[in-house]
């Protein structure tokens, strides 16, 4: 599956054109960065999520980290959870750790675990995004074998095998998006696992479809018109007939 990752830096996206480009099987959307602050919410996150939901584009999300301690990471997780609330993500929620500040104390595994464990406790399928070289130098199997991994390595495959998504380009071109776009390929079927386990906002009722039949003999024309509009908005087919009575 081919996908993209997106933030406010990609500007105002024409998602109709992006979907029609046939290179976007999924999208990973930035929630924001760091600890909670109104200025640290990604300015396009809500719109990007709504547009993908409207068009049926499966999404994940990522939160960009500046944590230097596990306690910092927990505060970032709290912020991320607020931004995720009320939404559904068939792809994982990723913790983006790649800054120099993460390696100053040699505790990258602990930082990753603090964020990811808090999200898991809240019912999310989570993982870690970073560069191949960063993962090799600063993360141990304590992280790489415990959590899903999304790895950036441009031009060739990552050097270790335990990753579910490979970010292979930062210079992709997608219709409807100005400038360069990060390109990814997913090797793991995350939606089946996430939806099936009722994670990331999904419940046991998701995937169940209901059929409704109803008859009303004494509607006015105005009531019939209103009911038809409301049913149509739910994707229902409505047949209007005059009552013999």
The encoded tokens of residue 9 equal 């830096």
Q: What is the pLDDT of residue 206?
A: 75
Q: Model confidence over 87-100: pLDDT tens digits?
A: 999 999 999 998 87
Question: What pLDDT band is residue 233 in, cutting at 50, 70 and 90?
Answer: low
Share of the chain above pLDDT 90, in %: 76
Q: How many helices (H) and strands (E) does the chain have?
A: 8, 8
Please state, in angstroms and rounded to a whole number, the distance separating the CA atoms of residues 220 and 38: 49
- pTM across the whole model: 0.82
Q: Which residue has the higher pLDDT, 179 or 212?
A: 179
CATH 3.40.50.920 given to domain 2-196:
no
Please state, in angstroms and rounded to a whole number, the distance separating the CA atoms of residues 2 and 80: 25
Q: What is the pLDDT of residue 148?
A: 98
Residue 230 in this model has a pLDDT that exceeds 80:
no
Q: What is the pLDDT of residue 212?
A: 62
What are the boundaries of each domain within the chain?
2-196, 210-245
């Amino acid at each position: 599956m081919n996908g993209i990752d997106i933030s406010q830096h990609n500007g105002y996206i024409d998602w109709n054109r992006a979907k029609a480009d046939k290179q976007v099987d999924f999208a990973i959307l930035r929630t924001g960065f760091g600890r909670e602050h109104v200025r640290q919410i990604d300015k396009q996150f809500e719109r990007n999520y709504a547009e993908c939901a409207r068009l049926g584009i499966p999404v994940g999300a990522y939160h960009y980290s500046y944590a230097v301690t596990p306690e910092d990471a927990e505060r970032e997780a709290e912020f991320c959870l607020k931004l995720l609330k009320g939404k559904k993500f068939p792809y994982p929620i990723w913790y983006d750790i790649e800054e120099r500040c993460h390696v100053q104390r040699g505790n990258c595994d602990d930082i990753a675990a603090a964020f990811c464990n808090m999200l898991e406790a809240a019912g999310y399928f989570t993982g870690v995004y970073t560069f191949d070289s960063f993962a090799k130098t600063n993360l141990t199997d304590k992280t790489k074998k415990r959590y899903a991994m999304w790895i950036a390595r441009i031009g060739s495959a990552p050097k270790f095998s335990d990753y579910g998504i490979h970010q292979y380009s930062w210079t992709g071109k997608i219709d409807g998006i100005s400038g360069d776009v990060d390109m990814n390929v997913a090797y793991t079927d995350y939606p089946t696992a996430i939806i099936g386990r009722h994670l990331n906002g999904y419940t046991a009722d998701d995937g169940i479809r209901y059929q409704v039949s109803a008859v009303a003999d004494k509607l006015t024309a105005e009531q019939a018109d209103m009911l038809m509009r409301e049913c149509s908005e739910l994707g229902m087919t409505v047949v209007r007939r005059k009552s013999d009575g």
